[in-house]
Every structure is written in C-alpha cells, then in structure tokens.
C-alpha cells in the first residue's frame, strides 16, 4: 500500500516550490500517493479558514506532510498560525534540522551537523505580559516532552550512524530549566553507545564557527535553537538550501527554512532546493531511505555540475532547476 504524503502549498512561493518537491518525489518512487490540501491566507480566501477542517482530516491520516510557510495574519482577531496549530494537534514534539553544504564554494566546508530541539508549541509554553515598568515572561518546559525529544534524537542519530551527541545549555540565563534539560539528557543517553557531553551555548557556537567538523548531533532547549540554527544555516549557504522537520512518533511535517517570500511569487526565480530536500526528509520518515538519498544525491550532483538558480551564482529559473534535478532523479531509478 503506498504511503500518503500530504502537500500543503502555503502562501507566496508555496505552489512553485511544492511543485518542485512533487516532481522529484514522483521521479524517484512510485510507492507514495501525493495528496494536496489548503492552508494559510490562500485557504482563507477560498474556505473562510486559515486551517480548513478538510486539511486537518488529510493531515491526520497522512504518513508525512510537506508544507511551506504562510503569511502572518496576527492583526486578525483570534488568528493562530495554522501550521503551528497543526503541529500541536499532531503532537510533533521534535524539531530536526540538517546542515551540510551542497558543494564547493557554497557554505563552509567540513560542516555536517544535525540540530534537534523541542517544539515550543508542544513541549512547553511561554507567556509574555506587559506591565507598568516592562514585560513579565513566564515559561514552562515539560520533562516528559523532553524525554520524547531525546528518544527521537537517539533514533535519528542511530539511523544516520552518528557517533557524538552534544547538549547545549546556559546555566546563567536559565539555571533551573537548563539544568533539568541537561540532567534528562544524561539520564536518557546514559546506556547508549554515543559519545555524549554538554557545552555552554556561546562556547559551542563559537567553536562551530572555528571548527565546523566538531559538531555531529546537537540537542538544545528552545531558547537557543533558532539562534544556533541561524548560524548553521549561514554556514550551510543560506535558508534556501536547507530544511526543517517537525516530528511525531509516526509522522512529520517538513518545510524549507525560508519564508513565503511573497514578492517572488509567480516570477519563476525562487530557489526550490530547501523544499526538494524537505521532500527527501519526508521519504526518510515513511521508510523510503534509499529514494530519499537519491534526491539528495541528485541535488548535490546538480550543484557540482553548475546547475544552480540565480541566488547561488547560477542562471536557472525555478522550473529549469526542477527539471534538471528531476531528470537526475529519473536516471537513478
């Protein structure tokens, strides 16, 4: 029975880049059924919902989801980010990002790192309240949720044959929550065969820049994940060249790291690499690891051969780059 992968083209360039992902998926395997749903402002215009009930039904029964970012409508009364809502409903506790430059002259050589952190929408809460003299911040992190993330991290690290896992913390900024996070980390990995240690987040980030090869798998509490991800994204070549996965026990949502970039919609100029790689992560999740590697290898081959979009020094359009990568995928079958 084919695995079901739901594609949710968000707003902006969503349709162009998810079309690219669908093209390469169909090129490497006939073992998936691609479904489509609506989400974001484009969904609201047609259905009156930013997250239509039909989309929620499709997401609940799908084996994996490929999505793209939506436009922010926080000025709307009672607006909630539909992607964040969907991830919470599907209990996607873990956030996974992979960082490895795609070729010479792109990013920093020697980098091959995975970053894993808790999803703040499912593992904790944070509340800000304006006061007379400033802003009061109250945060909560769930120990049980952290354990789920560590177990997912161990599963991923084992599958990808990683050897070292480093826990980041800042005991001056968050002494209690980070101490709990580090304690849980050591308890969960104590019986594993991984080399484990912990480091101050500032020290680790500095070391990453000086020696990218030192990091293998990094796990971090929520407060530092975006900052560390930003540094690694830059070292990898930029937000258009990598992706992020939100994982539950049996499914996941996979997205490019860049936003909806509405001003590029319909111009056939956006780089679809991140969304194509998100498709590879989706195949990993449904157990089609060989096919996922074929996509990643095809993307790397394209970059090595100079088949690149304009933002990374090439001259290809979105559709031209997609065509070239799709052809490389077809040859690998």
Provide the phi-psi class of 191: left if phi over 0, else alpha when psi is between -120 and 50, else beta.
alpha
Return the domain boundaries, the chain: 1-96+237-333, 108-235
Q: What are phi and psi of 206, to 5 degrees?
A: -60, -45
CA distances from 294 to 30, 48, 290 (A): 14, 40, 6
Distance CA 188, CA 145 (A): 12
- What pLDDT was estimated at residue 73? 74
Distance CA 245, CA 255 (A): 6
Provide the phi-psi class of 101: left if phi over 0, else alpha when psi is between -120 and 50, else beta.
beta
Q: What are phi and psi of 260, to 5 degrees?
A: -75, -15
- What pLDDT was estimated at residue 121? 86
- Range 1-96+237-333 has CATH code 3.40.718.10: yes
- What pLDDT was estimated at residue 96? 97
70: burial class by Cβ within 10 Å (0-12, 13-18, 19+)? buried
Under 8 Å between Cβ of 148 and 92: no
Tens of pLDDT, residues 153-186 = 999 999 999 999 999 999 998 999 999 999 999 9
- What pLDDT was estimated at residue 106? 92
- What pLDDT was estimated at residue 332? 80
Q: What is the CATH number of domain 108-235?
A: 3.40.718.10
For the chain, the first-to-last Cα distance in angstroms comes to 20
Segments of the chain scoring below 70 in pLDDT: 74-77
Distance CA 326, CA 291 (A): 13
- What pLDDT was estimated at residue 1? 84
Distance CA 251, CA 286 (A): 8
Task: Check if 1-96+237-333 and 108-235 are the same fold.
Answer: yes
272: burial class by Cβ within 10 Å (0-12, 13-18, 19+)? buried
Cα-based torsion angle of the residue sequence 179, 185, 191, 197 in order, rounded to the nearest 10 degrees: -80
Cα-based torsion angle of the residue sequence 212, 214, 217, 223 in order, rounded to the nearest 10 degrees: -70
- What pLDDT was estimated at residue 115? 97
Distance CA 117, CA 138 (A): 20
The residue ranges of DSSP E strands in 103-232, in sequence order, are: 113-118, 124-130, 135-141, 164-169, 195-200, 217-220
- What pLDDT was estimated at residue 104? 86
Strand partners of residue 246: 95, 253
């Amino acid at each position: 029975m084919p695995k079901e992968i739901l594609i949710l083209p968000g707003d902006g360039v969503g349709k162009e880049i998810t079309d690219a992902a669908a093209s390469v998926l169909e090129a490497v395997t006939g073992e998936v059924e691609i479904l489509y749903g609506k989400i974001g402002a484009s969904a609201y215009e047609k259905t009156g919902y930013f997250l239509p009930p039909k989309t929620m039904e499709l997401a609940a029964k799908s084996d994996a989801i490929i999505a793209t970012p939506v436009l922010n409508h926080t000025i709307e009364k009672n607006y909630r980010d539909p992607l964040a809502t969907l991830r919470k409903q599907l209990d996607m506790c873990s956030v996974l990002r992979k960082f490895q430059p795609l070729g010479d002259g792109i990013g920093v050589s020697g980098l091959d790192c995975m970053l894993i952190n808790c999803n703040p929408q499912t593992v904790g809460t944070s509340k800000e309240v304006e006061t007379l003299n400033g802003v009061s911040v109250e945060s909560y992190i769930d120990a049980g949720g952290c354990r789920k993330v560590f177990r997912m991290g161990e599963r991923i690290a084992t599958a990808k044959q990683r050897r070292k896992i480093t826990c980041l913390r800042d005991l001056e900024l968050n002494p209690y929550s980070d101490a709990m996070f580090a304690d849980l980390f050591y308890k969960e990995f104590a019986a594993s065969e991984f080399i484990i240690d912990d480091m101050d987040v500032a020290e680790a980030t500095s070391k990453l820049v000086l020696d990218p090869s030192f990091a293998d798998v990094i796990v971090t509490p929520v407060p530092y994940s975006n900052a560390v991800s930003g540094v690694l994204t830059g070292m990898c070549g930029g937000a258009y060249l990598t992706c992020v996965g939100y994982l539950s026990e049996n499914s996941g949502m996979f997205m490019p790291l860049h936003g909806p970039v509405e001003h590029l919609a319909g111009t056939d100029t956006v780089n679809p690499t991140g969304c194509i790689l998100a498709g590879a992560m989706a195949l990993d999740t449904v157990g089609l690891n060989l096919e996922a590697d074929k996509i990643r290898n095809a993307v790397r081959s394209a970059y090595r051969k100079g088949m690149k979009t304009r933002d990374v020094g090439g001259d290809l359009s979105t559709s031209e780059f997609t065509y070239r990568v799709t052809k490389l995928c077809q040859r690998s079958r």
